[in-house]
Amino acid sequence: MPCPYRFSSRMAKLKTGIVYLIGAGPGDPGLITVKGMDCLHRADVVIYDYLANPAFLSAAPETAERIYVGKKSGKHHSSQDEINGLLVAKASEGKTVARLKGGDPYVFGRGGEEALYLHQAGIPFEVIPGITASFAAAAYAGIPLTHRDYTTSLGLVTGHENPEKKMSSLDWERLATGVGTLVFYMGMANLPLISRELISHGRPTSTPVAIVRWATTPKQQTLVATLGDVVDKVAAAGLKPPAVIIVGEVVRLRGQLRWFDTRPLFGKRVLVTRTAEQSGSFSAMLEALGAEAVPCPVIEIVPPESWVELDREIARLDETDYLILTSTNAVEIFFARLQAAGKDVRALHRSKVVAVGPKTAAAIAARGIHADLMPADYRAEGVVALLKEAGVTGKRILYPKAALARDLIPKELEAAGARVSAPLAYRTLAPKQLSDEVRQRLKNREIDAVTFTSSSTVTNLLDLLGAEATDLLAGLTIVSIGPLTTATAHKWGLTVTVEPKDATLEAMLAAMVDYYSQHANINP
């Protein structure tokens, strides 16, 4: 019988595998290094655990194998031996293995053990450092770990040592008085012991302490106390791991230097109901203001049953006076069909291009065309008023429209003497179902606000939520982009609390900021 080991060692010689031990940072997906990301892009296998942000998994090639070896939720998790064995086995098959680790691989991350094992097995490896939790928590909580006026040294300490050893094996005397700033990892369960030992070995009871939980994420929590009262305060607040415990005078600087959790929408969990394609930029805007954007796409864009009508109009752009585009979807689809017809923007040389608003105009500009006209009122009504003013009698107008769009534009412009073609450019459908995660988070009351950017986002979300809709949305701050969307929400019994003056995403965000600045304590 052939020996499987001999076979695999011959394979290994054909193509050499490698393991990258990658520090994935503390949680904010922006806090991974460029090099770490680059390794992920090239990985055949990604091995990860629960502190690494799931967003990184999508950075690996679609074909990459993804293996979870985390320790959450009491279910089976891989032992360190199993993980070591897995790294060697996958690399021996000639694969590029990305071993993602929370924070930095060599700071309380068992990266040292994994690297030693790889070294002993003769597997090539590289270590890509990451931003460790203490550095990240300090930066995001507004606590410089060192500052010339406060401290000149820093100690990183495990608060939960190897179970065989006792925590008391730490040199408490030196830690308490010999090091300026101390940061404890994995220390929440041992917090009473940590504060007791530091005090009894000479650190003043009044020494400030900050506990930073889920640092760098929208659910970051920071509690400031002293060595004397931290245990009671943590118990009262019910603060749980994962958190780092920062001990030292530098904690006092947080009052002046905090920035992350003072952003206007910090901690607000906001449902984004736009299509998956469109939600990215809006989510990024929400996140820049401190909110957690929870994707909940309730609309899918699908092509019309046939392109015949739109293609026919594209064939006679030479005779078209105005092209009206009323959404970025319409822009994308119009230009895709133009290209499919073997044409490019020059086919529009005779037509004036009308954009409904700045987003649409930007999408048009990205194709190398400056929109000729844009109404002050970013709605179909605005487009009609603008074109009537320009004079449309006898003009040919092309308006690629969405299936659900009102027929206001063709009706009004035809009444004004224009010849309007309104071929179908796209249809919007509701997805078959809502993601389990969104439903669960609504049930757990873990969502603060829901944003509606069109009437169909309202009706589709209500359809998807079904009979539970009223219960699940009760108490949420309902944000609507404009009067039409609000009217639909009211029709279905929802109370809209935030509606901006202008129907744009920017104005909607500004209105949210305004609202929460006046209702700061409703959802602390």
**Tokens 């076979």 — which residue?**
7
Q: Which of 31, 64, 107, 458 binds ligand SAH (CB under 6 A)?
A: 107
The contacts of residue 138 (CB under 8 Å, 6+ apart) are 144, 145, 183, 212, 246
Q: Is 104 in the site for ligand SAH (CB under 6 A)?
A: yes
The CB-of-262 to ligand SAH minimum distance in angstroms stands at 18
The CB-of-521 to ligand SAH minimum distance in angstroms stands at 25
* Interface stretch with ligand SAH, choices 74-82, 238-246, 415-423, 471-479 (CB under 6 A): 238-246
The CB-of-160 to ligand SAH minimum distance in angstroms stands at 7
Structure tokens at 251: 């904690």
Assess contact for 144 and 138: CB atoms under 8 A.
Answer: yes
Q: Is 142 in the site for ligand SAH (CB under 6 A)?
A: no
* Interface stretch with ligand SAH, choices 53-61, 103-111, 173-181, 487-495 (CB under 6 A): 103-111
For residue 224, give the 3-state DSSP assignment. strand
* Interface stretch with ligand SAH, choices 207-215, 230-238, 325-333, 411-419 (CB under 6 A): 207-215
Which strands form 401-402's sheet, in the order they lie side by side?
A: 300-302, 424-429, 401-402
Q: Which of 20, 22, 26, 39 binds ligand SAH (CB under 6 A)?
A: 26
For residue 506, give the 3-state DSSP assignment. helix
* Interface stretch with ligand SAH, choices 115-123, 130-138, 274-282, 471-479 (CB under 6 A): 130-138
- Rounded to an integer, what distance in angstroms lies between the CA atom of residue 44 and that of residue 147? 43
Q: Is 185 in the site for ligand SAH (CB under 6 A)?
A: yes
The torsion angle over the Cα atoms of residues 69, 217, 38 and 84, rounded to 10 degrees, is -20
The CB-of-132 to ligand SAH minimum distance in angstroms stands at 3
* Residues binding ligand SAH: number (CB under 6 A): 24
End-to-end CA distance of the chain: 67
Assess contact for 375 and 382: CB atoms under 8 A.
Answer: yes
Assess contact for 427 and 304: CB atoms under 8 A.
Answer: yes
Structure tokens at 471: 């219960």
Q: Is 186 in the site for ligand SAH (CB under 6 A)?
A: yes
The CB-of-425 to ligand SAH minimum distance in angstroms stands at 44
Structure tokens at 376: 């002050």
The CB-of-144 to ligand SAH minimum distance in angstroms stands at 17
- Rounded to an integer, what distance in angstroms lies between the CA atom of residue 197 and that of residue 191? 10
Q: Which of 32, 43, 51, 509 binds ligand SAH (CB under 6 A)?
A: 51
Active site residues: 49, 71, 186
Taken as a whole, the chain contains a residue count of: 524
- Rounded to an integer, what distance in angstroms lies between the CA atom of residue 202 and that of residue 204? 6
* Interface stretch with ligand SAH, choices 60-68, 164-172, 241-249, 342-350 (CB under 6 A): 241-249
Q: Is 241 in the site for ligand SAH (CB under 6 A)?
A: yes
Which stretches of the chain bind ligand SAH, using CB under 6 A?
26-27, 51, 101-104, 107-109, 132-133, 137, 185-186, 212-216, 241-244
